């Protein structure tokens, strides 16, 4: 699939998912197509473009030339003269910018609901929060619209949305990605982060964005610290975390129980101490002058920081210094920590009922990372009650590549594209979940297929690749352990088979296809865009 075709498929996908709250400013399709033509010319001229044709979204507090930077506050908007360095580096590497994404206003929140542009609904279940503050960026990737997205992370904003939407969130060591051109939340600890669907894709973007530096690489066998007491977690989450830890152990890592009390104490300091005053220094005067333009929860948090006395900051700095030494002692015994990314996955209604309390609980494991100057990587680790569950690797400063190496440890899995009775909520989905299947993403195939309703029990569609007249078909991508995949494939009945299915991003994964002879006389349901569209007609 050409870059131009990929752009058209992305805008088709945007229209089909109908999630306008993802975007603050979506660029016109014609403008992105014009950029794609220039990009093709650059490649034809021999330019090396490691992110060639990757579609990227950018959090709305990061400058994108030609689009207003608002931080989800229209009254705050300004029009930047140039891209932020991280955006410029994306373009230089061959990525195409789709637009700026919604966020918890002024990057203050971990829920994704604190925005005049509306709550960004979860990619998997719209009744649940997407996580914040980098909500729109995460959902754009999870829904298969963008390949990559930029977020920011001060207290977990680049990791919690990744966990809630089943994708990867890479939060680098402070200083490795420049923060110039970013509306600050807490300028001294802010980080630009990367969202992607896989660790390798996130690392590839990180390599293009980061300041040149030799970073240490991991050496096996890895020692991974797991908490002696993680505190209360939502029902099912402790079991999911234990299962994730076992996967690392079974892949050859040594698990070591460690005391994480210093990390938890530092996490509480971020909002319960004086460090929150830095948020007031960033945008407090604007909020004082425009109180009605600001989300009430954001106004309350930042406004209260105005009255924190200076002596408290020095007291908290001394306390943080002691906690840093204790945390460093723990990390000196292991390659990294393995933690749940967060504590629970609330619904939008739960956040509306208790906006500050829920938000505070979500940051238990993430709030301390930047205060302590550490690196972190959030990765998917299965599901709980049908929703994504994620874990977080935390390492010392500049352990970014080590974390990626550790993340790659987990047992090898393969992906499969499904388009019918194996979709979530459909009668055969259990054949995936019972074999350890994990939902990865939803999105369209390439525009190369026709879909037919087969006369089977239970009803199933048949996907047929055609030389012309094809259209994109909605699909879900799941991953399975190799053993589970082999068992699953062995049970696929004719006329269905497992072949290669081309997705809208040009990649090919194993997936359900149908023998062309089996669709003779079957109803062509391509016009409904997918099996669920056919069922809902």
Catalytic residues: 59, 133, 157
DSSP-assigned states of every residue in 3-54: HHHHHHHHHHHHHHHT-GGGEEEEPPHHHHHHHHHHHHHHHHTT---TTTT-
Strand partners, 377: 170, 393
Residue appearing with tokens 């604007």: 286
213 burial level (CB within 10 Å; 0-12, 13-18, 19+): exposed
What's the sign of the alpha-carbon dihedral 170, 175, 178, 184?
A: positive
Question: Three-state DSSP class for 80?
Answer: coil
Give the angle 506-511-512 at the CA atoms, nearest 5°: 130
**270: its two tokens:** 């971020």
Residue 372: HSE in the Cβ half-sphere, 13 Å Cα cutoff: 30
Supply the DSSP symbol for 468: S
Distances 134 to 165, 287, 382 between C-alpha atoms, Å: 12, 21, 21
Contact 64, 98 (CB under 8 A): no
């Amino acid at each position: 699939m050409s870059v131009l075709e990929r752009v058209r498929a992305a805008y088709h996908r945007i229209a089909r998912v109908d999630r306008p709250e993802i975007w603050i400013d979506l660029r016109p399709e014609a403008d992105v197509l014009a950029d794609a033509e220039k990009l093709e010319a650059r490649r034809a001229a021999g330019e090396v473009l490691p992110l060639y044709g990757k579609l990227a979204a950018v959090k709305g507090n990061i400058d994108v030339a030609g689009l207003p930077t608002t931080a989800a506050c229209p009254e705050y908007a300004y029009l930047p003269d140039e891209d932020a360095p991280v955006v410029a580096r994306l373009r230089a590497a061959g990525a195409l910018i789709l637009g700026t994404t919604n966020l918890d206003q002024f990057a203050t929140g971990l829920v994704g609901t604190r925005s005049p542009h509306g709550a960004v609904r979860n990619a998997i279940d719209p009744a649940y929060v997407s996580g914040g503050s980098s909500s729109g960026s995460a959902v754009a990737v999870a829904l298969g619209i963008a390949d990559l997205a930029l977020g920011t992370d001060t207290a977990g904003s680049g990791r919690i949305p990744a966990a809630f939407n089943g994708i990867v969130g890479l939060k680098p060591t402070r200083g490795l990605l420049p923060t110039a051109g970013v509306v600050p939340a807490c300028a001294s600890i802010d980080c630009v982060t990367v969202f992607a669907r896989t660790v390798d894709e996130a690392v590839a973007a990180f390599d293009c964005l980061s300041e040149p530096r030799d970073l240490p690489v991991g050496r096996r066998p890895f020692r991974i610290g797991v908490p002696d007491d993680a505190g209360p977690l939502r029902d099912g989450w402790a079991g999911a975390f234990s299962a994730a830890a076992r996967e690392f152990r079974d892949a050859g890592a040594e698990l070591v129980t460690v005391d994480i009390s210093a990390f938890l104490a530092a996490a509480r300091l971020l909002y319960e101490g004086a460090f929150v005053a830095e948020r007031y220094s960033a945008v407090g005067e604007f909020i004082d002058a425009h109180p009605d333009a600001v989300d009430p929860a954001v106004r309350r948090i930042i406004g209260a920081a105005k009255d924190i006395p200076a002596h408290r900051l020095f007291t908290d700095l001394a306390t943080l210094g002691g906690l840093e030494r204790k945390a460093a002692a723990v990390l000196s015994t292991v390659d990294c920590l393995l933690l749940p990314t967060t504590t629970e996955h609330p619904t939008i209604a739960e956040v509306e009922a208790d906006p500050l309390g829920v938000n505070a609980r979500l940051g238990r494991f993430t709030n301390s990372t930047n205060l302590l100057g550490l690196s972190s990587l959030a990765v998917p680790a299965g599901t709980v009650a049908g929703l994504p569950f994620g874990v977080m690797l935390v390492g010392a400063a500049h352990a970014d590549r080590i974390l990626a190496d550790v993340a790659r440890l987990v047992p090898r899995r393969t992906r499969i594209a499904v388009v019918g009775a194996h979709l979530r909520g459909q009668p055969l989905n259990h054949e995936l979940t019972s074999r350890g299947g994990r939902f990865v993403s939803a999105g369209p195939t390439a525009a190369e297929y026709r879909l037919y309703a087969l006369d089977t029990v239970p009803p199933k569609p048949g996907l047929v690749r055609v030389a012309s007249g094809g259209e994109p078909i909605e699909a879900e991508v799941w991953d399975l352990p190799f053993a589970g995949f082999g068992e699953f494939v062995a049970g696929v009945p004719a006329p269905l088979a497992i072949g290669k299915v081309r997705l809208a991003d040009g990649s090919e994964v194993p997936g359900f296809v149908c023998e062309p002879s089996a669709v003779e006389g079957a109803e062509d349901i391509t016009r409904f865009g997918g099996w669920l569209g056919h069922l809902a007609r």
